């Protein structure tokens, strides 16, 4: 007996629909966002893990800093849903911790499965989340053969092998992380990588300066009062620099040592290492200009496009962008300050020519542009 017409239509269309698995390393994204805005080690320095904003003696300044770093998981889930139907939607954390529990209502309203990870060590559940998430993804890849997309919300380089395995099994892998706390190798291992700040609906937030004491002096990561030197507000200060500053002020009679150069971190759109610095790659060089990196990426993509055909051939801009995303999944023109990819290309008129042919926009590399990057 044949299937009813409606059932036949459903059976035909269902395999062609994209089915998405969303896996959120909750602690990773929350900690990374807080430290992006308030400096390296700020999450530990401010005691956020055990901070309860509803407590009578809660520090209002810390509460304000925590509120400013609130992660909009609705924006993350909406972006994930743009790839297809969400059939797996999980977040991994110790939900008994006050800072995590504050998100429960938001996540449950979006049907997120809150996977409980109990704290078993003094370091918390970080590694436990990594392992549990990876095990669940691999299990789902074999249990759900129709799963087409795997979206990992995290920045740890620990997930590189998971991304590579998912790709080998034929899934499209998307990563979402916070700029400044994402491994560049993880971004490269994904088919597509998005910076949290570039997601639709996320407003740009300016990083706050390091906290100060009542006398106006900066407080170091160890909780000691600084020497009165103001730390750089454009990024976290290297703890070795702070230690050197403290030692020089121990006594006025002592000769002063040469100050150690502070390390500046570019948050958009260059990705550095995650909070577990001992196991991740070093940060990119200080003088890397994201605009220059994007221009070089564009030139390489155009060179590849021309190499496949005529050197003077006009290329479709959509094809060029896809090639750029394949070469660097973290590329996105919006964090660079452009509303569209066309605006980005127009700003590179010294290396590329644009032309409109009917509904299509075409582009080609200017002669000699490769040497003027």
Give yes or no for a contact between 297 and 270, defined as CB atoms under 8 angstroms apart.
no
- Helix, strand, or coil here: 312? coil
Token pair of 43 as six digits:
């999450």
Q: Is the Cβ–Cβ distance between 126 and 118 less than 8 Å? A: no
With H, G, I as helix, E, B as strand and everything else as coil, classify residue 319: helix
Q: Cβ distance 49 to 43 under 8 Å?
A: yes
pLDDT, residue 50, reads: 86
Give how far Cα 306 sits from Cα of 230, 293, 311, 352, 371, Å: 51, 20, 5, 12, 16
Say which range, 113-127, 200-214, 307-321, has the weakest mean pLDDT: 200-214
Domain-embedded: residue 205: no
Query: Chain-wide mean pLDDT for the chain?
Result: 76
Q: How far is CA 192 from CA 203, 211, 264, 329, 342, in A?
A: 21, 36, 27, 4, 20
pLDDT, mean of residues 215-243: 40
Least confident of 74-83, 191-200, 235-244, 274-283: 274-283
Range scoring the smallest mean pLDDT among 55-64, 213-222, 317-326, 333-342: 213-222
Summarize pLDDT for 33-49 with one digit per residue, the tens. 999 999 989 999 999 98
Decide if 218 is inside a domain: no
Note whether residue 180 is domain-resident: yes
Residue 39 lies in a domain: yes
Residue 235: inside a domain: no
Q: How far apart are the first and last CA of the chain?
A: 67
Same domain, 300 and 182: no
**Whether 108 contacts 83, CB under 8 Å:** no
Domain boundary among 198, 224, 253: 198
Model pLDDT, residue 264? 37
Domain count, the chain: 2
191 & 297 share domain: no
- What is the C-alpha separation between 7 and 3, in angstroms, rounded? 6
Q: Do 138 and 30 have their domain in common? A: yes
Q: Dihedral of the CA atoms 183, 189, 190, 193 (nearest 10)?
A: 30
Q: Is the pLDDT of residue 167 over 80?
A: yes
Q: Please report, for the domain that includes residue 21, its CATH number.
A: 3.40.50.1010
| pTM: predicted TM-score of the whole model, two decimal places | 0.66
State mean pLDDT over 27-35.
Answer: 93
Give CA–CA dist 101/80, Å, rounded: 23
Q: Specify the pLDDT at position 7.
A: 46
Q: How far is CA 371 from CA 216, 301, 362, in A?
A: 50, 15, 22
Residue 222 lies in a domain: no
**Distance separating alpha carbons of residues 154 and 151, to the nearest angstrom:** 9
Residue 336 sits in a domain whose CATH number is 3.30.420.610
Quick one: average pLDDT of 54-64? 89
Q: Tens digits of per-residue pLDDT, 334-346?
A: 888 899 999 999 9
Q: Is the pLDDT of residue 258 over 50?
A: no
By residue range, what is the domain housing residue 25? Answer: 17-48+68-198
Q: Can you say how many angstroms the Cα of residue 242 is from the centroid of all Cα atoms in its chain? A: 27
- Final residue before a domain boundary, out of 155, 171, 198: 198
Of 198, 216, 231, which one is at a domain's C-terminal end? 198
Q: What are the helix (H) ranges across the chain?
A: 5-13, 26-38, 42-45, 60-68, 73-81, 98-101, 104-108, 126-143, 160-168, 184-189, 239-248, 290-307, 317-327, 341-346
Q: Examine residue 249 and state whether it is found in any structural domain, yes or no.
A: no
What integer is the mean pLDDT of 112-121?
84
Q: For tokens 């150690």, what's the residue? A: 260
In a domain, 341, yes or no: yes
Using only C-alpha atoms, the chain has a radius of gyration, in whole angstroms, of 24
Give the range among 13-22, 137-146, 184-193, 196-205 with minimum mean pLDDT: 13-22
- How confident is the model over 280-293, as a mean pLDDT? 60
Query: Do 182 and 325 share a domain, yes or no?
Result: no
Contact present, 211 and 219 (Cβ < 8 Å): yes
Question: Is the same domain home to 194 and 295?
Answer: no
């Amino acid at each position: 007996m044949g299937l009813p017409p409606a059932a036949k239509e459903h059976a035909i269309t269902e395999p062609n629909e994209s089915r998405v698995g969303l896996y959120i390393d909750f602690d990773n994204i929350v900690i990374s966002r807080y430290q992006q805005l308030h400096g390296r080690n700020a999450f530990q320095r401010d005691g956020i893990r055990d901070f309860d904003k509803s407590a009578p003696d809660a520090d209002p300044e810390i509460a304000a800093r925590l509120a400013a770093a609130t992660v909009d998981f609705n924006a993350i889930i909406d972006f994930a849903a743009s790839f297809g139907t969400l059939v797996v939607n999980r977040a991994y954390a110790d939900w008994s911790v006050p800072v995590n529990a504050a998100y429960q209502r938001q996540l449950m309203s979006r049907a997120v499965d809150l996977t409980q990870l109990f704290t078993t060590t003094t370091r918390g559940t970080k590694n436990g989340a990594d392992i549990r998430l990876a095990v669940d993804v691999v299990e789902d890849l074999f249990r759900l053969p129709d799963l087409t997309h795997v979206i990992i919300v995290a920045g740890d380089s620990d997930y590189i092998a998971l991304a590579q395995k998912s790709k080998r099994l034929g899934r499209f892998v998307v990563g979402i992380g916070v700029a400044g706390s994402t491994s560049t190798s993880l971004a490269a291992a994904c088919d597509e990588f998005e910076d949290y700040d570039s997601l639709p609906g996320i407003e740009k937030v300016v990083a706050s300066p390091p906290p100060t004491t009542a006398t106006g002096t900066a407080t170091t990561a160890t909780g000691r009062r600084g020497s009165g030197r103001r730390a750089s507000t454009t990024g976290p200060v290297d703890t070795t620099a702070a230690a050197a500053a403290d030692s020089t002020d121990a006594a006025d009679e002592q000769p002063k040592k040469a100050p150690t150069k502070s390390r500046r971190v570019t948050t958009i759109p260059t990705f550095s290492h995650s909070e577990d610095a001992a196991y991740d790659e070093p940060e990119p060089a200080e003088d890397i200009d994201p605009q220059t990196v994007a221009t070089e990426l564009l030139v390489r993509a155009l060179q590849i496009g021309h190499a496949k055909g005529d050197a003077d051939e006009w290329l479709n801009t959509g094809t060029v962008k896809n090639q750029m995303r394949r070469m660097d999944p973290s590329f996105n023109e919006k964090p660079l300050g452009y509303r569209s990819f066309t605006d980005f290309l127009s700003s590179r008129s010294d290396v590329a020519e644009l032309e409109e042919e009917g509904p299509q926009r075409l582009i080609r590399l200017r002669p000699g542009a490769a040497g003027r990057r």
